[in-house]
């Protein structure tokens, strides 16, 4: 590394990559920093899709992903793998984002070497260790270790203060996912053909209201996902609605969804979309059904009603703003809430106001200033 502050950015999954690429771009453009990128590759194809789109070539790729990986095996391999990279790079800061196994392992490896950690998207708390699982615990562990906490909202900063984290280390920066969405709209406004991959599906479902669906949470594997599939089957039996579901690559998700939803006329089970195409899906759909974290932030920013198939959320801002609603995983409730939005235009309009509690698209720059000290 050269003469600027040496920053090692570590990540491993699709959502981390999406929320970190704007920061990596900003750090790389800033002469005050020497930037290195390490990917654990906790995800492989879904991570590579984002790296390719954002033009990021990692300096270190640990290639950790195994089919059906267990949490303890992944954690052990991430901790030792990232530790070796830290010994080689000796950075001034380790930057991590969010709540995955990679984030927790990278923070711990840095702590073992007394290297300061900057946590992007700090302070999200559901208050329930069982959901999101195991992410709520990961966030609390990283919160205990980090020396710089980039909280996306005032609510998340307040959660950190309640845990007695020194206020001087907590900064409200906004969420970098909004920076990522701005980047997407700049690219697709300039070159609409970049999202032409959605045209065929849009034509297939012309005249129907599109429901965008994502589901992958570990605590929903099994019964929760069977319930979600049952609800989707019911909604998709209507003539006026169609469901587009870019399926997570987790084989457990795919098995249950193929079994329950495969071959239905009004359901498209498709491969994970690249971020440009997923943003296009969000922009053309009428309703979003999800158990994902990031999608809960993107849908409100794009004015799309989002029904969150979870019992709690560490992202209450969308619910407070009225664009998100927690519906759990009971099939009857999912069907009732979805049909209410399909059948009652006023209920839909009340949730469909573009509202952006998560940021202004300048979060990456704010984090750069904090890292520059």
Catalytic residues: 99, 121, 135, 216, 218, 248
| Phi, psi dihedral angles at 37 (to 5 degrees) | -120, 130
Q: What is the separation of C-alpha 159 from the centre of its chain, rounded to a whole number of angstroms?
A: 20
Q: Which of residues 3-22 bind ligand UDP (CB under 6 A)?
A: 14-15, 18
Query: Which one, 14 or 111, has the nearer CB to ligand UD1?
Result: 14
> How many other CB atoms sit within 10 Å of the CB of residue 101?
23
Is 216 one of the binding residues for ligand UD1 (CB under 6 A)? yes
CB of 18 to ligand UD1, least distance (A): 10
45-54 vs 14-28: helix crossing angle, rounded to 10: 30
Shortest CA distance to 78 belongs to which of 129, 149, 11? 11
When binding is defined by CB under 6 A, the residue of 246, 303, 322, 328 that contacts ligand UDP is 246
Alpha carbon distance 359, 337 (integer Å) = 28
The mark string for 91-130 relative to ligand UD1 (x by CB under 6 A, - otherwise) is --------xxx-----------------------------
Q: Which does 251 bind (CB under 5 to 8 A by kind): ligand UD1, ligand UDP, none?
A: ligand UD1
Q: Which of residues 180-219 bind ligand UDP (CB under 6 A)?
A: 214, 216
Cα atoms in the Cβ-side hemisphere of radius 13 Å centred on 194: 17
Is 152 one of the binding residues for ligand UDP (CB under 6 A)? no
Q: Which of residues 138-197 bind ligand UD1 (CB under 6 A)?
A: none
Q: Which residues contact 119 (CB under 8 A, 6 or more apart)?
A: 96, 97, 103, 107, 142, 143, 146, 148, 149, 150
Alpha carbon distance 305, 352 (integer Å) = 5
Number of amino acids touching ligand UDP (CB under 6 A): 15
Q: Which of residues 336-365 bind ligand UD1 (CB under 6 A)?
A: none
Q: Identify the bridge partners of residue 360 per DSSP, sorted by sequence position.
A: none
Q: Which does 298 bind (CB under 5 to 8 A by kind): ligand UD1, ligand UDP, none?
A: ligand UDP
Structure tokens at 355: 């509202």
Q: Which does 131 bind (CB under 5 to 8 A by kind): ligand UDP, ligand UD1, none?
A: none
Q: Identify the bridge partners of residue 325 per DSSP, sorted by sequence position.
A: 307
Residue with tokens 């329950």: 260
Point out which residues bind ligand UDP (CB under 6 A). Answer: 14-15, 18, 214, 216, 246, 272-273, 275, 278, 292-295, 298
Residue ranges binding ligand UD1 (CB under 6 A): 13-15, 42-47, 65-69, 71, 74, 99-101, 134-135, 216, 218, 248-251, 293
């Amino acid at each position: 590394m050269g003469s600027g502050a040496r920053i090692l950015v570590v990540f491993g999954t699709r959502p981390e990559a999406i929320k970190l690429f704007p920061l990596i771009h900003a750090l790389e453009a800033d002469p005050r920093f020497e930037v290195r990128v390490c990917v654990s590759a906790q995800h492989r194809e879904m991570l590579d899709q984002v790296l390719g789109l954002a033009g990021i070539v990692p300096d270190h790729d640990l290639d950790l992903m195994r089919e059906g990986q267990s949490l303890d095996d992944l954690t052990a391999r991430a901790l030792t793998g990232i530790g070796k990279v830290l010994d080689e790079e000796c950075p001034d800061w380790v930057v991590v984002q969010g709540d995955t196994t990679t984030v927790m392992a990278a923070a711990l490896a840095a702590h073992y070497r007394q290297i300061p950690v900057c946590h992007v998207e700090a302070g999200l708390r559901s208050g329930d260790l069982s959901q999101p699982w195991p992410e709520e615990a990961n966030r609390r562990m990283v919160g205990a270790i980090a020396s710089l906490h980039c909280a996306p909202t005032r609510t998340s900063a307040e959660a950190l203060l309640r845990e007695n984290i020194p206020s001087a280390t907590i900064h409200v920066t906004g969420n970098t996912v909004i920076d990522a969405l701005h980047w997407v709209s700049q690219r697709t406004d300039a070159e609409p053909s970049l999202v032409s991959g959605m045209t065929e599906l849009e034509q297939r479902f012309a005249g129907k209201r599109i429901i965008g669906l994502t589901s992958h949470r570990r605590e929903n594997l099994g019964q929760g996902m069977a319930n979600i599939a049952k609800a989707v089957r019911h909604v998709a039996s209507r003539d006026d609605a169609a469901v587009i579901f870019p399926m997570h690559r987790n084989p457990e998700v795919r098995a249950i969804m193929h079994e329950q939803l495969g071959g239905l006329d009004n359901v498209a089970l498709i491969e994970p979309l690249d971020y440009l195409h997923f943003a296009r899906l969000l922009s053309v759909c009428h309703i979003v059904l999800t158990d994902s974290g990031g999608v809960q932030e993107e849908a409100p920013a794009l004015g799309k009603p989002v029904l969150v198939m979870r019992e709690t959320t560490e992202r209450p801002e969308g619910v407070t703003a009225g664009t998100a609603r927690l519906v759990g995983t009971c099939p009857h409730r999912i069907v009732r809430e979805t049909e209410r939005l399909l059948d009652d235009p006023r209920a839909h309009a009340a949730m469909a106001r573009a509202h952006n509690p998560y940021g202004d698209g300048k979060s990456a720059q704010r984090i750069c200033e904090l890292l520059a000290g």
